[in-house]
Amino acid sequence: MMMILKQVADIRAGYPFRGKLPKNPESNIFCIQVKDLTNNQKVNWSSIDRVNLTGKREPSFLQAGDILFNARGNKNFAFHLNEAPPKNTVCAPYFFILRIKPSYCEAVLSTFLNWQLNQLPAQDYFAKESAGSVTKNIKRASLENTLIHLPSPEQQKQIADIQSSLQREKETYQQLIENSQQLMDKIAQDLHNGKFPSISNAIT
């Protein structure tokens, strides 16, 4: 089944802060920005800024299962909130917030939708929609009209599970690479200091 995004998800913009983000370490309002999102689809909660809400619009606080779509810049990626954010959390205005409509909650998995938005067909569409702009930006109408292919919920779950497994494998390999690099750095430093480490012992 093929649909457009606005048929299955409610789409709204992030909180409309005016000018520079009004940080306030004593506030009970949190704001997710691009800097808080990692490449492995996780939020670095420790880096989130506390802010004052300066706009007139009532805030739409985020919840688990929401998808944040970065509409600004060269990388228009989707980011799935796998876990519930702290109470009273909003996001920066360059994000669009996607939330599956109640009538489609059983037919559409948010993890699958997030995956599809990050795949080549959707990414090619976003690149064309932002072509010619000095500042790359995806307009709301363009996002709303993104084509979405929906297999059965069972198939969606299978695809989402495969993606999750792939992400865990990437994290494992990345950790192995970092550990190996640290080992090589130590060997180089030891040699610089006149030490001659046993390579076999260092590897084990």
Domain boundary among 123, 150, 177: 150
pLDDT band of residue 91 (cuts 50, 70, 90) is: very high
Of the candidates 150, 137, 146, the one whose C-alpha atom is nearest the C-alpha of residue 117 is 146
**What CA–CA distance (Å, rounded) separates 154 from 160?**
10
Look at residue 133 in the predicted model and tell me its pLDDT.
Answer: 64
**Which is it for the CA torsion 125, 144, 109, 82, positive or negative?**
positive
- Residues of the chain with pLDDT > 70: what percent? 95
CATH of the domain at 70: 3.90.220.20
Tokens encoding 108: 């559409």
Look at residue 70 in the predicted model and tell me its pLDDT.
Answer: 95
- Strand-pair category, 89-91 with 30-32: parallel
186 pairs with which residues across the strands? Answer: none
Mean pLDDT, residues 154-181 taken together: 90
Asked if residue 46 and residue 90 are part of one domain, the reply reads yes
The rounded mean pLDDT for the chain is 90
Look at residue 73 in the predicted model and tell me its pLDDT.
Answer: 86
**What CA–CA distance (Å, rounded) separates 204 from 202?**
6
Asked if residue 139 has pLDDT above 80, the reply is yes
Number of domains in the chain: 2
> pLDDT (tens digit, 9 = 90+) per residue, 192-201?
888 876 666 5
Asked if residue 106 and residue 23 are part of one domain, the reply reads yes
Asked if residue 141 and residue 201 are part of one domain, the reply reads no
Asked if residue 173 and residue 191 are part of one domain, the reply reads yes
Asked if residue 126 and residue 188 are part of one domain, the reply reads no
Domain boundary among 130, 150, 170: 150
For residue 137, give the amino acid letter: N
**What CA–CA distance (Å, rounded) separates 3 from 115?**
16
Alpha-helical segments (H) within the chain:
5-8, 110-117, 120-130, 140-144, 153-192, 199-203
Domain boundary among 150, 170, 191: 150
Instruction: Say what angle helices 110-117 and 153-192 make with each other, to 10 degrees.
Output: 60
Mean pLDDT, residues 174-188 taken together: 89
Beta carbons of 109 and 156 less than 8 angstroms apart: yes
Domain coverage including residue 33 = 2-150
> pLDDT (tens digit, 9 = 90+) per residue, 18-74?
888 999 999 999 999 999 998 778 899 989 999 999 878 889 899 999 999 999 988
Weakest-pLDDT range from 29-38, 39-48, 90-99, 118-127: 39-48
Beta carbons of 90 and 59 less than 8 angstroms apart: yes
Q: How many residues does the chain have?
A: 204
Look at residue 38 in the predicted model and tell me its pLDDT.
Answer: 85
Asked if residue 42 and residue 22 are part of one domain, the reply reads yes
Look at residue 149 in the predicted model and tell me its pLDDT.
Answer: 96
Beta carbons of 148 and 3 less than 8 angstroms apart: yes
SS3 (DSSP) at 129: helix
Look at residue 199 in the predicted model and tell me its pLDDT.
Answer: 66
188 phi and psi, to 5 degrees? -65, -40
Asked if residue 115 and residue 28 are part of one domain, the reply reads yes
